[in-house]
Amino acid sequence: MTTATLESTVLDAVEHRLFIGGEWVDAEGGRTLAVEDPATGRTIKEIADASPADGIRALDAAAAAQDEWAATAPRARGELLRRAFDLLQERKEEFALLMTLEMGKPLAEARGEVAYGGEFLRWFSEEAVRITGRYGLNPEGTGRMIVSQRPVGPSFFITPWNFPLAMATRKIAPALAAGCTVVIKPPALTPLTTIAFVQLLEEAGLPKGVVNVIPTSTSSKVSGPIIEDPRLRKLSFTGSTEVGRALMKQAATGILRTSMELGGNAPFVVFGDADLDKAVEGALVAKFRNIGQACTAANRFIVHESVAEEFANRVAERVKAMKVGRGTEEGVNIGPLIDDKAVESTDALVQDAVSRGASVLTGGTRIVDGDGTFYAPTVLAGVAAGSRLLAEEIFGPVLGITTFADEDEAVRLANDTEYGLISYVFTQDLARGHRMIERLATGMMGLNTGLVSNAAAPFGGVKQSGIGREGGLEGIHEYLDTKYTLIPVD
């Protein structure tokens, strides 16, 4: 089978309609939206474009299915997720190719996302049967207390374009395990992987109405009525802090339970005693994974002045060797950015840093040879205080280095941001590593590693990087309400 034939086969297998109440249906008025390959700029599929009325129909279906799904045995809920996990493993190559086609990431990284996204299905298939409570005599001896957990209820998910499978499974899996029904609005830029995953859930035995999917080009118009509806009890969003703040204001009207995984501005701190081999490898992963388009991407490289030049040169040498191209091509390390707006934003940050004195060690320009939205992987040294690169989330393949003299300065620079999602620290001093765990104001930290995400760990941030946690033991509790009952002692 030729590459073109394989791509067509994978794309043709993806439904083009909305999924509401267990049925694949056209959008109101037959509206459609085009999905493009960012590496070529060409449309790869036309799919249904949900209207506000379609969104309410999806919530109708989720609300109607809620009581029955909540009453379904935890083991049955878990086994559905396990069947979905097994099916995903059988089709991992198809899902990886689909993600590369609609999002642009190299195929090897897409395979990694399939593995990572699948783990949420496996993890929460096991957590479904571990929802527990408490029973015991109260301190006064006048009654017995029962503390139980019950599903929050119908949940609405708004997912981002950069990890189209993992962001869907990370939200859907704990919701289903807890007994909640779902309406999910995948991103207009990369909706195909989520649709394909819902098709897989349907094959695994998903009951009608338990998961509903409504891709749309008019996100706020479709989301607003759903969030305002009193039947909705949970909102989970992954995306920018600006949008998250607006959604929280909307959610306040109905006092919704919310989970917000928002922007990041991750510091990557390299101390003078760091193992530079590990630090360089960690930098390449933390910065250039997913073409730098990740909320966990290292944003500010804060390197001790004694090793800054060597670190910069070694990183630049590796980055110069990176192959840029369509993610389906052999050996490609850097695919396209998601669209022209992303390229323009990335270049503006680079030019601002250069205008303030930063040196370009490699890259620093848009790649205009051919189609697609490509930006050269870039390393900047001597990024000055006040540069936008240090204050704004980059979301592109740009690594900017600034220096520090001592530990207190490193902590001050690392914490000098409104965000607090993740930090990375490289040091061989165990005591210093423990101090950094305590001193850095982030919800997650990688100590001598550039990759921390794991389905068994709680993912989330502090400050303006969000509230709530996804994954880990904590993840399922985002979809459970606690109920206390007192039984008097006669």
Cite the active site residues.
261, 295
Write out the two tokens for 391: 């204050």
Distances (CA, A) of 318 to 85, 126, 130, 242, 253: 36, 41, 46, 34, 51
Selection from 193, 197, 257, 191 nearest residue 227 by Cα: 257
Beta bridge pairs of residue 424: 268, 446
30 Rama class: left (phi>0) / alpha (psi -120 to 50) / beta: left
Q: Report the C-alpha gap between 168 and 214 in whole angstroms.
A: 13
C-alpha dihedral (410, 413, 419, 421), degrees to nearest 10: -20
Beta-sheet strands, E only, within 231-332: 234-238, 257-261, 266-270, 298-304
**What 3-state DSSP class applies to 2?**
coil
Pick the closest to residue 245 from 458, 417, 463, 421 (CA basis): 463
Sign of CA dihedral 17, 20, 25, 27: negative
Query: Residues with Cβ < 8 Å from 252, sequence gap 6 or more?
Result: none
Tell me how far apart the terminal alpha carbons of the chain are, to the nearest angstrom.
Answer: 76
Q: Which residue has the tokens 């690594």?
A: 399
